[in-house]
Amino acid sequence: MKGLSMSTRFARSAHHPIRSAATAMPLAARQRKLLLILALGLLASVVHPILAHAQGMVRVGYPPAQAAVVQPAPQPTTIQGPNAIQMQIQQQLQSQLDILGGTNETGAPRASVEVGPVDARVANQPCDQIDLMLPAANRLRGRIQVGVRCRSPHAWAAWVPATIQITGTYYVASHQLSPGKTLDLGDLEARTGDLSTLPASVVQQPADVVGHVLLTSVAANQPLRAESLRLPMAVQAGQTVKLIAEGGGFQVSSDGRALNQAAVGQVAQVRTANGNVVSGIAQSAGVVAIQF
């Protein structure tokens, strides 16, 4: 009977290996397994809503290759339809441009904004909380892209085109100008037009041009640009200059010989009468200043 009993028990365990293994598994191991199953279930319950929300967002258009500044809409009222979205963009851009550019001599805004169409896939979706992503201040000219992002009740995002026109005065060459010429008022002619279609370095003030030296030739009626100009040389190499040393409550001057040429504001090296070499800043024609 003992042999029969042992055979029967062996046969039962052979037919139910899983139950046998579970029975043989230590209690601590079973508890760890149960905790692992519970942890995986909790993780799935957290991740699934996030993925579902991300998949539910609508993103249309392409982001511009420029920095964007998020500007929340001034009022949390519900907006819907392309006209409402365009109006939000128009108001935000015009506000920024009025701060940056001000008005012209007649009091009218120097900048005007034209907002393009809104993508039809999001144009008629209601939005309670909207953010606008504007380009950086130095990019607010010409054709731009404005990011529109809705937070509720449904998340979506889109890019809307806009065109900014900035009216102002700039200066062109009144006649053919050659390299090396020192400019005066007679070389300039004022024009009024859309500055957003011109290089950012176009000259807008006569004071930025008069007395400067041309580095390149400029044809008549061509805009003058800052990178085509340099300050006149205040000091020439080998020139006898006046060296002024200034400090707290004192000033001493002497003569020296310049070792290099320098424009106003640039560094000039000067050999003094006793043979020492000092560095100073070219202050004006033939004058180099040293600060103590």
Mean pLDDT across 1-20 = 43
Angle at Cα 210 formed by Cα 207 and Cα 215, nearest 5°? 120
Based on the fold, state whether residues 150 and 176 are members of the same structural domain.
Answer: no
Instruction: Give the rounded distance of the alpha carbon of 232 from its chain centre.
Output: 34
pTM of this prediction? Answer: 0.56
Tell me, yes or no, whether 95 lies in a domain: yes
Tell me, yes or no, whether 26 lies in a domain: no
SS (H, E, C) 107-170: CCECEEEEECCCCHHHHCCCECEEEEEEECHHHCCEEEEEEEEEEECCCEEEEEEEEEEEEEEE
Computed over every residue of the chain, the mean pLDDT equals: 78
Tell me, yes or no, whether 23 lies in a domain: no
Based on the fold, state whether residues 105 and 187 are members of the same structural domain.
Answer: no
User: What is the pLDDT, as a whole number, of residue 216?
Assistant: 94
Confidence of residue 36 (pLDDT cuts 50, 70, 90): low
Tell me, yes or no, whether 153 lies in a domain: yes
Mean pLDDT across 63-68 = 47
Range of the domain at 200: 168-230
User: What is the pLDDT, as a whole number, of residue 40?
Assistant: 52
Tell me, yes or no, whether 33 lies in a domain: no
Based on the fold, state whether residues 218 and 245 are members of the same structural domain.
Answer: no
Could you read off the pLDDT of 126-163 as tens digits, one per residue? 888 888 998 888 788 889 999 999 988 888 999 999 99
User: What is the pLDDT, as a whole number, of residue 99?
Assistant: 75
User: What is the pLDDT, as a whole number, of residue 240?
Assistant: 95
Count of the separate structural domains present in the chain: 3
Based on the fold, state whether residues 74 and 161 are members of the same structural domain.
Answer: yes
Instruction: Give the rounded distance of the alpha carbon of 239 from its chain centre.
Output: 45
Confidence of residue 196 (pLDDT cuts 50, 70, 90): confident
Based on the fold, state whether residues 186 and 116 are members of the same structural domain.
Answer: no
Mean pLDDT across 174-183 = 95
**C-beta separation of 132 from 68 below 8 A:** no
User: What is the pLDDT, as a whole number, of residue 180?
Assistant: 92
Mean pLDDT across 186-195 = 93
Tell me, yes or no, whether 221 lies in a domain: yes
Based on the fold, state whether residues 99 and 158 are members of the same structural domain.
Answer: yes
Based on the fold, state whether residues 155 and 196 are members of the same structural domain.
Answer: no
Q: Residue 193 is part of a domain; what is its CATH number?
A: 3.90.1210.10
The residue among 141, 166, 191 that closes a domain is 166
Higher-pLDDT residue of 49 and 143 is 143
Q: Residue 265 is part of a domain; what is its CATH number?
A: 2.30.30.760
CB atoms under 10 Å from CB of 29, counted, come to: 10
Tell me, yes or no, whether 60 lies in a domain: no
The residue among 133, 148, 166 that closes a domain is 166
User: What is the pLDDT, as a whole number, of residue 21?
Assistant: 43
**C-beta separation of 256 from 280 below 8 A:** no
Instruction: Compute the distance between CA of residue 189 and CA of residue 168 in angstroms, rounded to an integer.
Output: 14
Based on the fold, state whether residues 155 and 85 are members of the same structural domain.
Answer: yes
The tokens for 282 are 């070219």
For the ranges 58-67, 92-101, 151-160, 282-291, the lowest mean pLDDT is seen at 58-67
Could you read off the pLDDT of 234-278 as tens digits, one per residue? 999 999 999 999 888 888 999 999 999 999 889 999 999 999 999
Based on the fold, state whether residues 139 and 96 are members of the same structural domain.
Answer: yes
